Amino acid sequence: MYQSMNLSFSSNFTHRSIVEPRLCPGISARARRSLRLSPSCVSSGPNSDDSPRINLSSKLISLLKAVPNWSDGIKERRMQQKRSLYTHENWVRHRSSLRHLRHVSSSTSSRVILSLIPPVSFFTTVAILVAAYNSAVVMDWLPNFFPVLRASPLPYQLTAPALALLLVFRTEASYSRFEQGRKAWVKIITGTNDLARQVISSVHSDELIIRDTLLRYIAAFPVALKCHVIYGSDMASDLGNVIEADDLSLILQSKHRPRCLLQFISQSLQLLNLDNTKIDMLESKMLQLQEGIGVCEQLMGIPIPLSYTRLTSRFLVLWHLTLPIILWDDCHWNVVPATFISAASLFCIEEVGVLIEEPFSMLALDELCDMVLSNIDEAVESEKVIRNRIIAKKRIREIKHSSNGWPKS
C-alpha cells in the first residue's frame, strides 16, 4: 500500500511542479521564462510530509522482524544439515553420565533453543512491563485511578491440565508421524537392497551391461526420493556419480523424478532374458518402493490438522500474556523469571513437536542412500568370487566321492 501511495504522490508532484509549475506572484513573464523552476516557489507535494513517517514505520517493522528472521534462518539451515547414523561409539557417548553437562553446554547452538528467542523474549518483556506498572501503582507514582493488574489464579489452576494434555497430544501426534516416516524409509531401503540382490542372482553373464545399468537405477531411486522430500536438495549433484548424464537429464526434466526412475527400472526388467514368473516376482518388489513414495508424499502434503496446531499456539500465547497478572500477588517481581521459565519450557515442547512433524529432515537419509549404493557395489564385486568358490567346493566334493556314494581309494 505504501508503494502505491508513493507512486501516486510522485506522479502528482511531477505533474504539478514540472508540467505546470506554480511560481511566486509578482514575477514578470520574462522572469518566468528565464526562471523556469525555483526550489523556493515550487510547492512541496504531499509526499514531503509523509515520507519520514513511512520510512520510520518501515524501519521499525524491519527492526522488529530482524530477530525472528535471524532465528528462522538459523533453524532452516540446521534443518538442511546431514544427519549421521549411530555407531557403537555414538551409543556409548549417548548414554554417558556426562551427557547432561554436554547437552547444557551446547544450548547456545541448539536450533530448538535459538528458535525460542523471539517468543520467550517477547513474553519476558511483557512480564517486565506488567511488574514495572504494578510497582509504579503501588508506590503511588501514578494517579490513583490506575489499578493494579492482578487476578485470581483459580482459572489457571483449572486450565493447566488442559494445556498439559494439549501439548502431550500435539507432541505425540508429531512423533507418530516421525515413526511413520522412519518405518517407510526402512521398507524403502530394505526393498531396494532386496531388488538389487534378486537382479544380481537372476541375471545371466551375457546380460551384464543391462544388469549393471539396472543396478544403477535401483541405487538411484532412494537418492531421488530423498531429494523429492527434503527441501533444498540438489538432485543433479547427488545423482551425478550414480547414473549416466543422458539418463540424469531426462530424470531432471520429469515432473515426478522418483516415479521416472521406477519407469527406468521397470523397462530395464522387461529387457532381461528372464521367464515371466521371474519378471513378475521382480515387478512385485517394486510395489514396496511405490508404497514408500505414497507414504512420504502423504506425510509431506498432509500435516497435523491446522486447527489443532493453531489451538495449541493460541492457548500458549494467551496463557503467557496473562501469567504475570495471575502471579503478581504471590511473586511480585519474581513474575519475570517465572514467566521466562514457563515460556521457555512450554514453547520448547511445542517447538519440538513442530520440528518432528516433518520427519525427513530428522532422518539420516544421506547415509542410508550411500549405504544402499555401497551395498550394491559390494554385492556385484563379491558375486563372482562367491559363485566361483561354491562351484569349486562342489567339484572337490564330487572328486572325493564316487558315483555310488563310496569314497575313492
Helix axis angle for 306-331 and 154-202, nearest 10°, is 140
pLDDT value at residue 222: 94
d(C-alpha 268, C-alpha 247), whole Å: 13
Indicate the angle between helix axes 257-271 and 208-229, nearest 10 degrees. 170
Whether the CB-CB separation of 256 and 396 falls below 8 Å is answered with: no
At residue 207, the pLDDT reads 80
pLDDT tens across 166-178, in order? Answer: 999 999 999 999 9
- C-alpha R_g of the chain: 35
pLDDT computed for residue 12 by the predictor: 39
Cell of 156: 489457571
Q: Cα-flanking dihedrals φ and ψ of residue 218, to 5°?
A: -65, -40
Grid cell listed for 41: 516557489
pLDDT, one tens digit for every residue, the chain (409 residues): 333 334 333 333 333 333 333 434 444 444 444 434 344 334 444 444 566 667 777 766 776 677 677 666 766 666 667 788 889 998 999 999 999 998 888 887 788 888 888 899 999 999 999 999 999 999 989 888 899 999 988 888 888 999 999 999 999 999 999 999 999 999 999 999 999 998 988 887 778 888 889 999 999 999 999 999 988 888 888 888 888 999 999 999 999 999 999 999 999 888 888 888 888 888 888 888 999 999 999 999 999 999 999 999 999 999 999 999 999 988 899 999 999 999 999 999 999 999 899 999 889 999 999 999 999 988 888 887 888 888 888 788 777 765 555 555 4
Q: Is 405 left (phi over 0), alpha (psi -120 to 50) or beta?
A: left
pLDDT score, position 33: 42
Q: Which of 256, 229, 234 is nearest to 359 (CA)?
A: 229
Report the C-alpha gap between 112 and 63 in whole angstroms: 22
Give the cell for residue 387: 559363485
- For the chain, the three-class secondary structure string (H helix, E strand, C coil) is CHHHHHHHHHHHHHHHHHHCCCCCCCCCHHHHHHHCCCCCCCCCCCHHHHHHHHHHHHHHHHHHHHHHHHHHHHHHHHHCCCCCCCCHHHHHHHCCCCHHHHHHHCHHHCHHHHHCHHHHHHHHHHHHHHHHHHHHHHCCCCCCCCCCCCCCCHHHHHHHHHHHHHHHHHHHHHHHHHHHHHHHHHHHHHHHHHHHHHHHHHCCHHHHHHHHHHHHHHHHHHHHHHHHHCCCCCHHHHHCCCCCHHHHHHHHHCCCHHHHHHHHHHHHHHHCCCCHHHHHHHHHHHHHHHHHHHHHHHHHHCCCCHHHHHHHHHHHHHHHHHHHHHHHHHHHHHHHHHHHHHHHHHHHHHHHHHHHHCHHHHCCHHHHHHHHHHHHHHHHHHHHHHHHHHHHHHHHHHHHECCCCCECC
Instruction: Please tell me the predicted confidence (pLDDT) of residue 298.
Output: 94
What is the per-residue pLDDT for 67? 62
Backbone angles phi, psi at 401, to 5 degrees: -115, 145
Whether residue 185 contacts residue 363, with contact meaning beta carbons closer than 8 Å, is answered with yes
For residues 254 and 189, the answer to whether their CB atoms sit within 8 Å is: no
218, 196 in Cβ contact below 8 A?
A: yes
Taking Cα atoms as reference points, which of 247, 230, 237 lies closest to residue 80? 230
Written as one letter, the residue type at 21 is P
Residues 228 and 300: their CA atoms lie apart, in Å, by 10
Give the Cα separation of 393 and 115 in Å (integer): 63
